A = this chain, B = another copy of it.
């Protein structure tokens, strides 16, 4: 998820390299967290306050369709975005702080494949989220 990704997408789909798209890709590439639309919007406005929310939505959708951006929805119902070029992983959400921890586990991936196969399906996607509390803290949710 860099400027060159954008150039590639524009070439492939004959889209235009606009100032707005450049700003948005820059903000996303510098975001190593999982920002919600509103957060991305704020970061964008710091660079160019004239970009509209509609353009942001259109661009986020564009990037999702180009598979350079992933959308998540963790429990709270709001969409969060993440650079899709990072290695495949899942998320553990800390119910105390809201912190999002990324993890990957080969055994888990293999097991999922196996389960799907057993059910007669070929896996084309999957989503896993764990919700936890740090050891020793109250185990009540929220």
Q: Is A19's CB within 8 Å of the partner chain B?
A: no
Q: A73-B73, A105-B111, A111-B111 are in contact. Are A125 and B131 (CB under 8 A)?
A: yes
A107 partner residues in chain B, CB cutoff 8 A: 111
Copies in the assembly, this chain: 2
Whether B116 pairs with A92 at a CB distance below 8 angstroms is yes
CA gap between A108 and B116 in the complex, in Å: 12
Minimum C-beta distance from A58 to chain B (A)? 17
Whether A130 pairs with B135 at a CB distance below 8 angstroms is no
Whether A123 pairs with B119 at a CB distance below 8 angstroms is no
Minimum C-beta distance from A82 to chain B (A)? 16
CA gap between A62 and B75 in the complex, in Å: 17
